[in-house]
Structure 1
């Protein structure tokens, strides 16, 4: 084994199945309680999971994302789409509402140490200065275990929360179908996201590591020469800097991007540490990896360390495959339709799930983000049954005793672009 198989767990309410909150062992009364999420993260930490992500958005959850809905709606009118979104949002038999992911991660961090905390933050309606400082704060509170799951918002009703821009209603099928308006919006959203991440990365470097000197005798708290203006001017943002938060323990928190096609792949190649992909078959995986290689040829990588490629999978785990299929069918009946997802949905035994993860690993995938269909039930299955199988397969020899998420994931220390040695190195390359 040259590199281990890294594991992340995606936390979202009662789980990724819309009917999961109705399970007997679900905790619907606790979904807005910090203690509930702390328990989940503590459980993941007990099994040596590398990181957890926390879902978030700037609008209420809706149901029906995924290929099944996209194909079914190809012939709908724009009005139909808007009504469908409204209806999905207005369903009263699904979880609605969530806690702010960054604030929640900051609440969890003092309670559970040694596991990556990666909240979702949307770039579309959020100023990168605020995002950068919030994540630096999380990196301090967690003592070096912070990350950022980058997300865009293309929904018209979410834009209306802010009133600063208008986004026309569209359907995901319009993007996959090559609609020019949808493609232009996609390019705008991910172009803005790329600038937002670059601004954040520059702000994270805007204080050198030794900028704070605290010389009581001379009355100098900081060395002003070691704070730097970032002077970023792009199509979407103009940011002077420096950050108001000193450089945090990791220097650069880990950046995680979920991507499904060319434009998001280019964002990931340029700015992410981890890109998560959603293959459904081996052929699909090969296609995605080819598209990522194409993106690497056309986009300059700014993030430094090599990009890790992770797969995504929704898992529902029972003792036997038959039991798992029965459990999924029961939840689908409660929901009134089959579970649809951008990622592969696997209802199976622990051995089946572990075999799928190992199969991806042996095809070159660096890690997997598991989306439990039911929380906490499938997280218990992951920690008690899946991870021991992976341990026995010898693929989980991760960095024991790591002092940060970057170290845990093998990224190493993040150099500061504004430190003199780095400036000199960059100038020599430019010349």
Structure 2
């Protein structure tokens, strides 16, 4: 297999005090970091100075675990800012790094969401991405007049149409619609305006959007679904996919499958970037890394570990099971993340007890976890990249600020030494340029070129 000539892309997944379930209890953590804008601004500046391609914010429109008997021990990562508001604040203190936020198609309207992201793309100079998700948790449904979760297939059917409407709205105006001709008294060219005129099963939207196109044309579309419905949607529409895998074999299978689906739909597979999540414990030596990992693992309270596992399985009740017993094989398939449930079942098949399972998941909730020296960590990252299991990685520091400091201090220089990441400044100014994604031509411009040809 020939060595790749491109460089891997790096995203930084922001999450209050860190991604480990016990991060907020770490002595070096600022426990209330999730509600301190200065915390996020400092991380954004640090990530940009280090050359990360993107910052990423997850979201939920409900407080997960609110009905749990250990709710008061789980809440730390979930009390934080609404992500679009936070991205607006981060856009003003950064100049180059991409900014990606999650927004659900289940409890939003296409026009509002399209307008919000288009505005952010203008404010940031073309650095915004939308992580399209569906909401699967009952806590969210109860906040929007629902009595429960919509079926998995129904959520994705709505999401597909939602995305189509948003994409049309982002094409409301051609690139050169703005005239600002004072002498003629013309503010814009009405011929460059396009109505959406969408009438579908879920939405009726006339348009046009009241925000012009941004320097990168339209925000980058990001997704993370790995179920059959999620893969179909990603193959048809996504430009970046966040993934969760535990082995290179699984990562390669997902990579081949998704790129193959995209190509079968007439897309260039190079225009779909796959970034698995990875939590990294590292330090000056392997022993130092192991000590950091052990310190956090010892802070995981058993009741919190059990609840973490239950939540990742879609709310399955595990309270009657011994922590030293194996995970039952006959658990009901929930309406939540099917791919995450399958991943956990595969781990359980290794013979792990509930306690061992939640400790395996404590650092990254199903994403890959690496513990070792910089050389050992980069060996693994390079194997996944060169083996076509990833186009880059979404980094999930176990703690903030220490976990990010360690990655920048130890891992990043080794990645640069091996030529795996860019050596100098950003390639351009927009998120599309950072990721090597093409500028999305307006449909009217494409039709004009086809007519000339």
Q: TM-score normalised to the size of structure 2?
A: 0.80
State the distance in 2 between where 1:238 and 1:428 align.
34
Aligned position for 1:162: 144
CA deviation after TM superposition for structure 1 residue 106, in Å: 0.6
Aligned position for 2:442: 416
- Higher mean displacement: 101-110 or 187-196: 187-196
- Higher mean displacement: 40-49 or 218-227: 218-227
Kindly provide the CA deviation profile for residues 191-242 of structure 1, in whole angstroms up to 9, marking residues without a partner as x.
Answer: 2222222222211111111111112223221222211012223332222111
State the distance in 2 between where 1:96 and 1:413 align.
35
**Aligned partners of 1:350 and 1:381 also within 8 Å:** no
Aligned position for 2:392: 367
Aligned position for 1:32: 35
1:17 partnered with 2:42: no
Q: 2:73 aligns with which of 91, 99, 103?
A: 91
Question: Is there any run of 5+ residues in structure 1 with no aligned partner, and where?
Answer: 63-82, 169-183
CA deviation after TM superposition for structure 1 residue 351, in Å: 2.1
**Aligned partners of 1:213 and 1:221 also within 8 Å:** yes
State the SS of the aligned residue for 2:122: helix
Aligned position for 2:432: 406
Aligned position for 2:421: 396
Structure-2 change in CA distance of 1:198 and 1:93 (3 Å):
closer
Aligned position for 1:358: 382
State the distance in 2 between where 1:352 and 1:60 align.
38
State the distance in 2 between where 1:428 and 1:194 align.
32
State the distance in 1 between where 2:272 and 2:87 align.
24
Q: 1:123 aligns with which of 105, 110, 131?
A: 105
State the distance in 1 between where 2:449 and 2:244 align.
38
State the SS of the aligned residue for 1:31: helix
State the distance in 1 between where 2:158 and 2:435 align.
27
- Higher mean displacement: 288-297 or 203-212: 288-297
1:318 partnered with 2:283: yes
Question: Is there any run of 5+ residues in structure 2 with no aligned partner, and where?
Answer: 306-358
State the distance in 2 between where 1:31 and 1:289 align.
33
Kindly provide the CA deviation profile for residues 130-172 of structure 1, in whole angstroms up to 9, marking residues without a partner as x.
Answer: 1111111111111111111222211112111010x4434xxxx
State the SS of the aligned residue for 1:25: coil
Kindly provide the CA deviation profile for residues 169-202 of structure 1, in whole angstroms up to 9, marking residues without a partner as x.
Answer: xxxxxxxxxxxxxxx8222222222222222221
State the SS of the aligned residue for 2:144: coil
State the SS of the aligned residue for 1:158: helix
State the distance in 1 between where 2:6 and 2:70 align.
42
Structure-2 change in CA distance of 1:352 and 1:198 (3 Å):
farther
1:136 partnered with 2:109: no
**Aligned partners of 2:12 and 2:56 also within 8 Å:** yes
**Aligned partners of 2:284 and 2:410 also within 8 Å:** no
State the distance in 1 between where 2:429 and 2:58 align.
25
Q: 1:307 aligns with which of 254, 263, 272?
A: 272
State the SS of the aligned residue for 2:143: coil
Structure-2 change in CA distance of 1:388 and 1:280 (3 Å):
same
RMSD of aligned Cα (Å) = 2.5
- Higher mean displacement: 349-358 or 393-402: 393-402
Structure-2 change in CA distance of 1:304 and 1:310 (3 Å):
closer
Kindly provide the CA deviation profile for residues 300-327 of structure 1, in whole angstroms up to 9, marking residues without a partner as x.
Answer: 65x9972122221122223333333333
State the distance in 2 between where 1:93 and 1:218 align.
59
Q: 1:221 aligns with which of 187, 206, 226?
A: 187
Structure-2 change in CA distance of 1:59 and 1:299 (3 Å):
farther
Aligned position for 1:176: none
Q: TM-score normalised to the size of structure 1?
A: 0.83
CA deviation after TM superposition for structure 1 residue 427, in Å: 7.9
State the distance in 2 between where 1:93 and 1:59 align.
12
**Aligned partners of 2:283 and 2:372 also within 8 Å:** yes
**Aligned partners of 1:321 and 1:349 also within 8 Å:** yes
CA deviation after TM superposition for structure 1 residue 299, in Å: 5.1
State the distance in 2 between where 1:322 and 1:334 align.
19
